[in-house]
Amino acid sequence: PKQLFKVVLLLGLGCLSIVLGLYFQGWFSRPLGDAETKKHWQRHYENALRAWQQGALSLADEEWTMAQHWAHRYPGGRWINALETHRMMQRQRQARLLNDLCEVPLGELLYSALGLSDAAWQDRFRKRYQGRAILLDTTVHRSGRDGIVVDHVWDLVPLEVQRRGIAPAMPSIEVHWHELQLLQKLADAAPRRILFGARLASAQRSSPNRWVVHWQPDSGVLLTDREVLPLLGLGEDPETIEVLQKQFVWLCQMEP
């Protein structure tokens, strides 16, 4: 009888432990309500915006990732509309692009490689420049004969070399703009000014003084916020601000 009592007691305690465990597991993993979820989202969103405005791009990226996490926890919340979602995700795309900016302009980058062998240059490119972003303020249009046409003039010679009065061999650049999905969507018959960035895939020498540049196809990012203007060396003039505003509208139209 004593052994039977012990067995029954142990079974009872085991069942009670299971019941209590399930109860507390349900309590701590209960779904959060709209107000509580919004509180978490709002905190991360405000942290991201503050970091973005201060130029802390990595922190802004992390905080926007957390804000999106909380937004997805309650997708029916009326406190985050489609426009705000677009703006949040677009700022995060810009932050990631700007955080990976190439430290020198593309023209100067290629000029610095003129004295290197192909093997030495490819090794340097993979280590320093592959996947890095280039920012552009340029004009783009579509031509039936030439496809995507970008009217951009590269500054191929560093200022230091220009000041010395040296007449260097000028490299020519063949840029494969058609590879960028962003330009395929935006290019129209009429030229339009755009501010955007894209990531380098490769830069190879096709002849002693000629370069061929390829992009990562899905890396194009429109610039839509005035915080990026100093990185392009541009002031907040009305025309440029208007371009940024238009580009946000284009973005919303491309990503309904």
Give the Cα separation of 122 and 198 in Å (integer). Answer: 20
Q: Is the model's pTM score more than 0.95?
A: no
Contact 231, 225 (CB under 8 A): no
- Of 138, 151, 149, the C-alpha closest to 232 is 138
Q: Give me the DSSP letters along 119-159.
A: HHHHHHHHHHTTT-EEEEEEEEEEETTTEEEEE-----S-H
Give the Cα separation of 75 and 80 in Å (integer). Answer: 8
Give the pair of three-digit tokens for residue 73. Answer: 């926890």
The distance from CA 248 to its chain's CA centroid, rounded to whole angstroms, is 15
pLDDT: which is higher, 144 or 108 = 108
Give the Cα separation of 221 and 133 in Å (integer). Answer: 10
**53-66 confidence digits (pLDDT tens):** 888 889 999 998 99
pLDDT for residue 26 is more than 70? no
In one-letter notation, the amino acid at residue 208 is: P
Confidence (pLDDT) at 122: 93
